[in-house]
Structure 1
Amino acid sequence: MIELETEVVVIGAGMAGLMAATALSDRDVVVLEATDRAGGRVESVRQGDYWINLGTQFTEGTGPLIEALERHQVAMGTLAGKKVALALHGKQVDTSNPFGLMFRSRMTFLDRLGLAAVGARILAAAPFLQMNPGNRLAKRVRAKLDALSASYVLRGIGSEVARDMVRSWSGQWMGCEPEETAATQFVFSMGILLTDPAKVPNFSLPEGGNQTLTDVLATDLGDRLRLNSPVTSVEWTEDGVVVDYADENGPARIRARRAIVAVPSDVAVKLMPGLPPEYRSAFDDIRYGRYVVVGFFTHEEGPQRWDDYIAVSTPQLSFQAMFNHAAALRGPGARKPGGALACFAGGAVADNLFELTDEEIVNRFTADLLSLYPELEGKLDEGIVRRHHRVVPFWAPGGRASLPTLRRHLGPVHLAGDYQLDMPSLADAASSGERAAEQVRASLPRSAN
């Protein structure tokens, strides 16, 4: 067995692991990634001027992620003036005014009443989640939402349309059903979108896709990033860490002073058999959303109905949302031919799709996309399918109480991942990686360099 020594070993080259390793690039650091590519749930495919995000759809938030995009001079496509739409009963309606949309779309009185009740419940609770967490009333509201499932917004709602829309929102934004998740994350996300999507901070699309940044970070790490190197165990004492893994030559081992474990919760439990019970229990509380994504490069010319929309919610189709990545490139002047669309299904819808072949999924999504936009007939490239069994972390009612445990390090082992934060996102994953790196740096002697 080959044995190496390093100062810091980072396990996992998703956004959290890449940001952690980058923040420690002046130290002796090695990154082990089980797969043949860096980026984790961040994946983009490119064709000409366009790209499709086949994993995480958007970049949003503040902090290390945005700073890294700016530092590496990654151009950002603008979403200023872009909108979100709802496709219902064959009609596409702008959702910038959620109450106005009820009267412009083809809803019955019962549907309008049900949707108004759902919206009122979300909007009544959402402001408290944006208050200072120390506020006493905000604390009480948060505690109540943490204990409730998101399905509380559907209590007493008889409208099938309203129920379909709530399930679609939960599926497309969290990859789960309302009954699965605590209400907190659902209410916060939907509250912002219902009041003003522009409030989502730095909601944008890096040109070339989200993978543009992870590619840059991976390139900067050079041979310190080791792909196809699955870790089999992580053990530690007060003095250091021993990581067993496999590479192209067989079993290998790294001895390090510190480790940053930046992998999904269920993987972390498998890699660290010595986890104390409270950590194991906290990891077990984390659930993950599921998604199926089909991306289509398109070959239309001239202005199109979807050009100004970054997303169209489609609760009555085989996919729950259509994301228009080309919207970030649509500005004043002549419209370039072609485009890029991603059709998204999550939660129970994705679970059912997992049982189908790629061809069957593409055929379903293609038929529904053409029912939405018949003018795309003959102008779609072959669909690109991705099945994601583990994407956005969420908590069942009561599960968030164990979250503080996962923010504490285990001696020389530090944890990173967006499961550590209240509202998981790509930006949160980056923040957790940088925070773990800062903790590691503070615990090590000053570098001699």
Structure 2
Amino acid sequence: MTSHEVHEETAEVVVVGAGIAGLTAATTLVSDTEVVVLEASDRAGGRVDTVRQGDYWINVGTQFTEGTGPLIDALDRHGIERGSLAGKSVALYLNGGLVDTANPLALMFRTRMSFTDRIAMAVIGARIFAVAPFLESQSRLARKVRAKLDTMPAAYLLKGIRSELAAQIVGSWSAQWMGCEVRETAATQFVTSVGIALTDPEKVPNFSLPVGGNQTLTDVLAADLGDRIRLNSVVRSVRQDGEGVVVDYLDGDRPARVRARRAIVTAPADIAQRIIPDLPQPYRNAFADIAYGRYLVVGFFTDEVGPQRWDRYFGVSTPQLSFQAMFNHAAAMRTGDDRKPGGALACFAGGAHADALFALSDEEVVSRFTNDLLSLFPELDGKLGEGIVRRHHRVVPFWAAGRKASLPALRAPLGNIYLAGDYQLELPSLADAAESGEQAGKAVRASLHGPLEPK
């Protein structure tokens, strides 16, 4: 075979991308449909990435699972144990003091802030609390409130605020939950991500950590698909071709092609826009309206013994440090008095902080994060393992004020090309990515074989 020859094969369905959306789409179809999954990287899982050591693990990609739907169903179906975060909370580290954010009074009066800063935080808190009741309700008024928030930048929370510290705190929340700045994103996504955690403590038990990390599930799904997944396969184009599709890709450095009846594209918005030629303008506009958060993560396995101050928290917001949040992946294991030695912590910088840190070497980043982590918890001195660095230039999708209205166009297939991803549903999350993948898989199955007969 010469370098100009193209290896060609056929399949019923090609899935582009082996993140959680692609894996869920493929496993939805695989029982009665011939599926090929093309993944550009050398591993399945997408932004789900876990490092394991002994009894502990660190999610150095997506942090938590939550909610209901296909993601939770898959965890249950495969018997994957989940550690609950019920009884755990989030703390705020400010001016050398640590305060539990689950207690609004403590947050306001025990935090080391000036009177001006307290007033500013009270105003911001009031603005979040004012819209929190409308974030999940399906009433007409709630939908109107959310539609209004869609047209407003999240920076409205800081309107008239002259406290630099309050702006730092809000910026830290945006960076740690979404990987972007408050000026970049519409208000709806921000206040939903942050507001529910602050105003509805009953939601916290819905957060969970699969034992072994989030990658436990993607590993199982990838194993179910076996050699149907083609790693190191960079898709160059997905084109309509009569009653089917043609997908051209590089198998390593060799050109290859799959002819199929349907394709499901689960690649990030900018890649999907590039590989699908001749996109109708509404699709092109919608893809262009999607932006992505950025994260730099450093994980540390630890070897402390006995109960520790951070055991009660699954997260600590740190707006004044080089990282803006610390997540405690061992929190779900701290359910009784029998505390195993060791632990697992992940420090996150997002948005503009991450952008600046990307220019530094891994060694410089680890040094900064280590020094700041020891200022937060001096007890960790001499107990931190080697820093594990991940640089994520594209993680959580978000959209600017007024840009969300274009996204529903992406829910409709382009002839024989179907789309899936966490940008399709209301609030980007791992659960929404899985649900989108399942919906695409079911739609493709129905187009090929007709709807499933009810049992």
Q: With structure 1 as the length reference, what TM-score do the two structures score?
A: 0.97
C-alpha distance in 1 between matches for 2:53 and 2:17: 28
User: Are 1:281 and 2:285 counterparts?
Assistant: yes
Aligned to 2:258: 254
Q: 1:87·1:312 contact (CA, 8 Å) conserved in 2? A: yes
C-alpha distance in 2 between matches for 1:292 and 1:281: 29
Aligned to 2:9: 4
SS of 1:411's partner is coil
C-alpha distance in 2 between matches for 1:79 and 1:187: 22
C-alpha distance in 1 between matches for 2:221 and 2:410: 25
Deviations 1:84-138 (A, max 9, x none): 1111111111111123311011111111110010011111112112110xx3322
Aligned to 1:126: 132
Within a 5 Å distance, the mapping from 1:152-163 to structure 2 comes to 152-163=156-167
Q: Determine which of 374, 377, 382 is the counterpart of 1:378.
A: 382
C-alpha distance in 1 between matches for 2:104 and 2:9: 58
User: Are 1:18 and 2:58 counterparts?
Assistant: no
Q: 2:132·2:199 contact (CA, 8 Å) conserved in 1? A: no
Aligned to 1:165: 169
Aligned to 1:62: 68
Aligned to 1:266: 270
Which contiguous aligned blocks of 4+ residues in structure 1 show a shift greater than 2 angstroms? 445-448
Deviation at 1:178, TM superposition (A): 0.4
Give the RMSD, CA atoms, in angstroms: 1.3
Within a 5 Å distance, the mapping from 1:21-420 to structure 2 comes to 21-26=26-31, 27-132=33-138, 135-200=139-204, 202-248=206-252, 250-420=254-424
C-alpha distance in 1 between matches for 2:440 and 2:411: 9
C-alpha distance in 2 between matches for 1:274 and 1:347: 32
Report sequence identity in percent. Answer: 69
C-alpha distance in 1 between matches for 2:183 and 2:206: 30
Aligned to 2:3: none
SS of 2:326's partner is strand
Q: Which runs of 5+ in 2 are unaligned?
A: 1-5
Quick one: which amino acid aligns to residue 318 of structure 1? S
Quick one: which amino acid aligns to residue 391 of structure 1? V
SS of 2:423's partner is helix
Alignment CA distance shift 1:331-1:136 (3 Å): closer
C-alpha distance in 1 between matches for 2:311 and 2:379: 13
Q: 1:237·1:411 contact (CA, 8 Å) conserved in 2? A: no
Deviation at 1:143, TM superposition (A): 1.8
Q: Which runs of 5+ in 1 are unaligned?
A: none
C-alpha distance in 2 between matches for 1:170 and 1:262: 25
C-alpha distance in 2 between matches for 1:198 and 1:129: 15
Quick one: which amino acid aligns to residue 269 of structure 2? S
Alignment CA distance shift 1:290-1:6 (3 Å): same
Q: 1:238·1:411 contact (CA, 8 Å) conserved in 2? A: no
Q: 2:86·2:205 contact (CA, 8 Å) conserved in 1? A: no
